[in-house]
Structure 1
Amino acid sequence: MIDPVSLGHHVHDLRAGRGLALSALAGKAGVSVSMLSAIERGEKTPTVVVLSRIADGLGLPVSRLLADLEADRVIVRRAAEQDHVTEPGGWHRTVLTPVVPGVNFEWIRTTLPPGCDAGGFPAYAPGSHEFVAVESGELTLGVGDTEYVLAAGDSVYFPADTGHSYANRTGNPCVYDVAALIMRSRSAG
């Protein structure tokens, strides 16, 4: 398991070694200064997406960023460590998966209140995949120009290299899980 404090010190040392201010790396990585600062202090464990962005900002592959930090092949993410995010519009998502070096996979549980449209998401890089399973309520999933209405217990797969959207058009809450393998272009270096 990767110790968040060790990871934070390592990210700090790599940033300092490149002569980058905290705000400069945050800008290059597309991560907020407060998030990056919390990671460097070991107070926050980054998601796979955030870790990938930091690695890109440092000009490193994720595997090199995490080299020598992985002490165990089993990575546990306790419920208290999960990222809980309330988005504009009142919808809520929880990132359930731990960070796994070299794997761009996330499992996210989302709750959409009645009548909530979470909006559209851009196409990811070719080779990206999403699996969606509806736990409760009804979800309207848009993939490209087609909409799919999914009820509790339904699931779907789609290549995520096309634009997609999520909406709850009913009067009841909707809870669904997204398992996503998102490919990203890597910067050279």
Structure 2
Amino acid sequence: MSTIVDKASTIVNAVTDLSTAIATTLQEARQSRGLSGGALADRSGVSRAMISKIERGETQPTAVLLSRLAAALGMTLSELVARAEQDRKRLARKDDQPTWTDPETGYVRRAVSPVAGGPLELVEVELSAGAEVAQPAESYALAHHQIWVLAGHLVFREGDVEHHLGPGDCLQLGAPQPCAYVNRSDAPCRYLVVLGRR
């Protein structure tokens, strides 16, 4: 029983540490680009007050907010999370790959690639039953995207078009536009997002 409690405590601490690291990384990225909170708010469409709360660690941002902020800073969400993790090893063991859970949808995102900001990034996602994660066009402007479904069924909404994807299906995204990952089934869906620098 104590082993289970210890593991749960370790997971909670790791999530808390990563959230704090993301807040710090976001602030450092903004400052290194000479942007004020107001300027980042103008670029991202996220309010200055929300940016301030995120940077102070007073709130855990959703995937949508982080995507907007990362894009406004000229990086992908994967790069932002990986920078927060600050691991430059060439081998990323599964147990060491950082995961992040969207507090709004329960979407779980695992940074599979070992090097942050490399030419190619792999991200494994588990989208719970009934969940939807929408992202603005800016999220897709910095990298080429492909989605490979590993398990379950995913509806990927790309602008006005819906792509229905099953296990083994792989979709290459077109020009950047607002998109959404949707799981209309009653079981979780797992997929791999492959990102290549434009």
Between the two proteins, the alignment pairs up a number of residues equal to 132
**Residue 28 of structure 2 corresponds to which residue in structure 1?**
25
Is 1:79 matched with 2:61? no
**Residue 163 of structure 1 corresponds to which residue in structure 2?**
178
Measured in 2, the distance between the counterparts of 1:52 and 1:79 equals 14
- Aligned in 2, Cα 1:28/1:160: closer, same or farther, shift over 3 Å? farther
- Aligned in 2, Cα 1:50/1:163: closer, same or farther, shift over 3 Å? same
Identity of matched residues, % = 23
Measured in 1, the distance between the counterparts of 2:196 and 2:148 equals 15
- In the TM superposition, 1:16-165 aligns within 5 A as 25=28, 27-28=30-31, 32=55, 49-50=79-80, 75-87=90-102, 88-99=104-115, 103-124=118-139, 126=141, 128-159=143-174, 161-165=176-180
Deviation of 1:152 after TM superposition, in Å, equals 1.2
Q: TM-score, normalised by structure 2?
A: 0.54
Measured in 2, the distance between the counterparts of 1:23 and 1:164 equals 23
Larger-gyration structure (1/2):
1
List gaps (5 residues or longer) in structure 2. 1-23, 33-39, 41-53, 58-76
Measured in 2, the distance between the counterparts of 1:125 and 1:22 equals 21
Measured in 1, the distance between the counterparts of 2:82 and 2:108 equals 23
List gaps (5 residues or longer) in structure 1. 1-20, 35-46, 55-69, 184-189
Measured in 2, the distance between the counterparts of 1:126 and 1:24 equals 22
- Aligned in 2, Cα 1:124/1:27: closer, same or farther, shift over 3 Å? closer
Higher share in helix: 2
Q: Which amino acid aligns with 1:80?
A: D
Q: TM-score, normalised by structure 1?
A: 0.57
* Deviations 1:60-88 (CA, angstroms, capped at 9, x unpaired): xxxxxxxxxx8xxx811122321111112
* Deviations 1:89-111 (CA, angstroms, capped at 9, x unpaired): 1111101001156x343211111
Contact 1:127-1:161 at 8 Å conserved across structures: no
Q: Which amino acid aligns with 2:80?
A: V
